[in-house]
Structure formats: structure tokens, C-alpha cells
Amino acid sequence: MTSPTPGTAPAPGTSQTAPGSPSSTAPEVLWYIIPREGAYPWEPAGRRPVDLGYLQQLAGTVERLGYTGALLATDLYDVWPLGSALAASTSTRFKPLLAVHPGLIAPTLLAKMALSFDNLFGGRLRFNVVNGSTSALREYGLHVGHDERYELSAEYWSIVKRLTAGEVFDHKGRFYDLKDAGASFRDLRPVQEPHVPLWFGGSSEPGIEMAAEHVDVYLTWGEPPHLLKEKLDHVRARAAAHGRTLRIGLRLHLIVRDTEDEAWAAADRLLGVTSEETYARQLGGRAGEDGVGWQRQFRQHGGRVPARARELEEYPNLWPGMSLFRPGPGTAVVGSTAQVVERLREYQELGVDTFILSGNPLLEEAYRVAETVLPALGIRH
């Protein structure tokens, strides 16, 4: 019987304990960087002016505070020029996690871009595999249904992995027919082994199967621990069926204050400053979206905007209300420093060894979290 082998070696500072065991080492913690930044950037009034200098300041701050990098999400700016600009202004400690949709550009070209990035910036690139939604991908001329997106993704990233490992090969599959792939940049040698790491989150059966077979770090959104445990147990079982183990990462928003009451007051303020237009835009057309992760998240609030934020607290300190007004991951941990740390440790006990955290504004909250939460997790700058 083949014993499971890890997709990648654990990064420095990450937990290496068995899944479900309390962590004895500090987790890896990344921050979040997008150009729409401010106290409540989903509203024009809550958005601050952001330019290259500001984004580089934010990346430098994230690096100095002890985070190992940042997720650069698909937002106003394309992640490649943004990632290159931030990598050029930081050291090798700052590792950009670039969100990339498979299929929008040829896998051979993406691999060349990745190897170029790693050669220029010291082997820091990581891919966040984003499968998107059927409707969003139509804007780019990619017409694939839910399950077909994952079939495309599996083939696409298997090619990219081989190319970023330095292979030259022919490939004939359902979506791609390649001859001498990698030959034109065979002298552009890989920096990372065995390949540029893949991080990915997907909650549907096809998504979990794709993750189990191909990715290195499985990402998930915040949910009550008993629900998350069920999903992670299933993910691990599917990975084991492929002779693999995966690292587990969790994407969370934090609203941490000195006291619990202050934290929930801050969440109440976010509800109050959000316009009816934003609520309608975010909720009106998305209840039937085909992403299973979004559906799991939507069920936690049902599209209902509460009078007080805490009305949606179905598990201590977990608030799904961020998804009422912003796209993507919408669960926040709301509470005092001690409560937030307790929730994060609870997730660590489920085997989570990596956190991607955020708070608004990104710059100020990066400091707050680094000065309060990170030391309690064993991370110091």
C-alpha cells in the first residue's frame, strides 16, 4: 500500500502535527492585499485613494509585521503586475499568493510567467487556484459549466505543475493538445521544488476531488468547527485515496477589539454604513449561484440583513455577515483578542496550519492583528 506523501514540505513556522491534534508550533499566517482598500471599501465613501506607493507600503508593512506573504485576489488590478510590483519592493520573506483562473491563458504561457517570476524574485510565487463562477468566466469567453470547470482545472494545473518543475513533454487531453511544451524556455530553470505550489479552495465534490489529486494546500472559508471538520475529514480521505496528504488553510476576516462589545459594535457599524444598493447588488442575483462554497456561506444568513450583527452569530464569535456586502469569503471572527485567539486555536485543532487573514482597513488592521493576535499564536516580528 502506498503511503501518503505531502504535496509540499511544510513552510517554516507552520504546524506539523497530525490532523485533529493541538498544534505545538506557530501557524503560517498571510495577510490580504487588494487595491480597493479602506474602512468599508465596498462603498465609495469608505474607500481611500490607493496608488502603487500605498500598495508597496502595505506589502512592506505586512512583511515587517511577521506575516509570510499576502493573498493578491482577483480585484480591480490584475495580479501579475501587482504581484511583480510588490515582490520588487519586498524581500524573499514576502511570498505573493496570486489568484489565477485556469483556462484564461494557455498553461504553457502561465508556466513561463511563473518561472520568470520565480527566477527574478527568488522563488516566492504561490498560486491560488480560483475556479470562479460560470457567469463570471463568460466575460473572458470561457464557457464551461460547474463540473466542467473542475475538469478543465485538473488538466490545466497538471500541465502547469509539470512545466514549472522543468519538464518538456507532449500532452493530448480533453482541453489541451501540446507539442514540446516547455521547450522554448527549457533554460529557465525551476527555483521551487517540486513545482510552484498550488493553493485551492473548493467545496463541491468535483472541487474536492481536484484538490485531492493536484493541489498542495487546501483552502476553505470559515464555518462552525463541526461543519468544517466534516468537510476536512472528507478532503483528507479523498487525498489519501490518491496517496497524498494536504496542508489545510483557512481564509478569515477578523474584527478584533479590546472587548467583545467593542468588536460587535464595529460589526454593527459595517451594517449601518452599507447602502441598500450594495445589499441588493451583493444578494439579489447570487442566491442561485453555482459555487457550493458560496451556497454553504449563504445558508448561514439566508440573505437576511439583520438589525444587529450578532443576530447572525450561530457559533461563538463567528459572523457570516461580511458576505452580505462583499464578494468572496464572508465569515469574520468577531471578539476580544482572547476570543479571537481561542477560535483560531480551535481551527488549529482541526489541522489548520495556515491562515489568510484580513481586516478593514488593511493597513491599520494588519498592525492591530500583529500586535494582539499573532504573538498569542507564537508569531513575533
Q: What is the pLDDT of residues 285-344, one digit of tens each?
A: 554 454 555 555 555 556 678 999 999 998 999 999 998 998 878 899 999 999 999 999
Q: What is the pLDDT of residues 258-295, one digit of tens each?
A: 999 999 999 999 999 999 999 988 887 554 454 555 55
Quote the pLDDT of residue 138: 79
Task: Pick 186 or 314 by higher pLDDT.
Answer: 186
Q: What is the pLDDT of residues 104-131, one digit of tens each?
A: 899 999 999 999 999 999 999 999 998 7
Say if residue 54's pLDDT is above 60: yes
Q: Which residue bears the cell 461580511? A: 322
C-alpha cell at 153: 482545472
Quote the pLDDT of residue 25: 85
Alpha carbon distance 158, 165 (integer Å)? 11
Quote the pLDDT of residue 298: 55
Pure H helices in the chain: 52-64, 79-88, 107-121, 134-138, 146-164, 205-214, 225-241, 260-273, 276-284, 292-299, 337-349, 362-376
DSSP letters, 253-321, are EEEEESSHHHHHHHHHHHHHHS-HHHHHHHHHTTTT-S-HHHHHHHHTTTT---SSGGGG-SBTTEEGG
Quote the pLDDT of residue 376: 97
Burial degree of 302 (CB within 10 A; 0-12, 13-18, 19+): exposed
- With a CB cutoff of 8 Å and minimum separation 6, the contacts of 62 are 31, 33, 69, 70, 94, 366
Quote the pLDDT of residue 295: 53
Task: Pick 2 or 164 by higher pLDDT.
Answer: 164
Quote the pLDDT of residue 380: 83
**Residue among 6, 219, 198 at smallest CA distance from 114:** 198
Say if residue 76's pLDDT is above 90: no
- Return the minimum-mean-pLDDT range out of 21-25, 53-57, 59-63, 376-380: 21-25
Confidence of residue 86 (pLDDT cuts 50, 70, 90): very high
User: What domains can you pick out in the chain, each with its CATH number?
Assistant: 5-252+350-376 (3.20.20.30)
Quote the pLDDT of residue 12: 36
Q: Please state the rounded mean pLDDT for residues 37-58.
A: 97
pTM higher than the cut 0.85: yes
Alpha carbon distance 369, 114 (integer Å)? 31
Q: What is the pLDDT of residues 133-155, one digit of tens each?
A: 667 777 767 777 778 888 889 99
Quote the pLDDT of residue 2: 36
* Most confident option among 18-27, 144-153, 164-173, 319-328: 164-173
Mean pLDDT, the chain, integer: 89
C-alpha cell at 59: 506589502
Quote the pLDDT of residue 18: 39
Quote the pLDDT of residue 293: 52
Residue 31 vs residues 186, 272, 366: alpha-carbon distances, Å: 34, 26, 7
Q: Please state the rounded mean pLDDT for residues 52-57.
A: 97
Quote the pLDDT of residue 264: 98
- Percent of the chain's residues with pLDDT above 70: 88
C-alpha cell at 157: 494545473
C-alpha cell at 266: 464595529
Residue 230 vs residues 3, 205, 209, 323: alpha-carbon distances, Å: 23, 13, 15, 22
Say if residue 357's pLDDT is above 80: yes
Say if residue 11's pLDDT is above 50: no
Q: What is the pLDDT of residues 245-257, one digit of tens each?
A: 999 999 999 999 9
